[in-house]
């Protein structure tokens, strides 16, 4: 399966307000970002951010160095149109995260529901390799995935559920677990989905 073709089709066939992962207020992501104590001028990347409104909040909070990465050009186009002139304050990157070459290192990496779509071990290794290169030592990692008891599929694709121990095993010893939060996400069709949010810091060798 070509991941890019799949996700471009999703944003061609559906409004970003109708997809199951649509979230009106990304409150838990913001709480975890604030919890890191990251500086206002920190370099932050929202992986799979696409049409998410997290970037809107980061702009409004005067974070000047925000990057949004997504595999689907359609999702980025929605976000740019929504933000209007504010979109100029953001760096937009269309790329598959497993092949991403960062223009510089980041202080904070946020991923809500990308990693759990990587069902192949080779893709997960590529993701972690990109993450290790892209996040500076002392940087913060926030990943949200479907939790145990949550969905086993999303958008017609299989996913991998995680708890902290399982995710730590994928990330390796360079990442130090800080906290885990549970969230019941309510989809636009009013279905409940169990999510887990994880925060790690990256340590040096």
Residue 113: what pLDDT?
A: 87
Supply the pLDDT for residue 5. Answer: 78
What the block records as the tokens of 32 is 């975890």
pLDDT at position 123: 95
Strand order in the sheet with 106-112: 90-94, 66-70, 44-47, 106-112, 135-146, 192-202, 175-186
Q: Which residue has the tokens 């838990």?
A: 28
Predicted pLDDT of residue 17: 58
3-state SS string for the chain: CCHHHHHHHHHHHCCCCCCCCCCCCCHHHHHHHHHHCCCCCCCEEEECCCCCCHHHHHHHCCCCCEEEEECCHHHHHHHHHHHHHHHHHEEEEECCHHHCCCCCCEEEEEEECCHHHCCCHHHHHHHHHHHHHHEEEEEEEEEEEECCCCCCEECCEECCCCCHHHHHHHHCCCEEEEEEEEEEEECCCCCEEEEEEEEEEECCC
The tokens describing 150, both together, are: 């949550």
Q: Which residues of the chain have pLDDT under 70?
A: 1, 7-8, 11, 13-22, 188, 205
Query: What would the CATH number be for the domain defined by 3-202?
Result: 3.40.50.150
pTM of the model: 0.90
Give pLDDT, residue 188. 64
pLDDT at residue 25 in the model = 84
Domain boundaries, the chain: 3-202
For residue 104, what pLDDT is reported?
97
**pLDDT recorded at residue 101:** 98
């Amino acid at each position: 399966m070509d991941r890019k073709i799949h996700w471009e089709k999703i944003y061609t066939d559906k409004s970003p307000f109708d997809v199951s992962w649509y979230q009106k207020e990304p409150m838990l992501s913001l709480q975890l970002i604030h919890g890191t104590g990251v500086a206002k001028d920190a370099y932050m990347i929202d992986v799979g951010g696409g049409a998410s409104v997290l970037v809107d909040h980061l702009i409004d909070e005067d974070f000047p160095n925000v990057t949004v990465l997504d595999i689907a050009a359609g999702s980025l186009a929605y976000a740019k149109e929504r933000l209007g002139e504010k979109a100029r304050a953001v760096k937009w990157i269309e790329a598959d995260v497993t092949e991403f070459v960062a223009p510089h290192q980041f202080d904070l990496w946020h991923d809500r529901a990308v990693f759990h779509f990587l069902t192949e071990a080779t893709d997960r290794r590529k993701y972690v390799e990109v993450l290790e290169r892209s996040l500076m030592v002392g940087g913060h990692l926030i990943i949200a995935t479907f939790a145990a008891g949550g969905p086993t599929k999303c958008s017609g694709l299989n996913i991998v559920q995680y708890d902290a121990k399982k995710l730590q095993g994928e990330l390796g010893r360079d990442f130090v677990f800080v906290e885990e939060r549970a969230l019941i996400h309510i989809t636009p069709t009013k279905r409940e989905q169990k999510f887990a949010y994880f925060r790690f810091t990256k340590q040096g060798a």
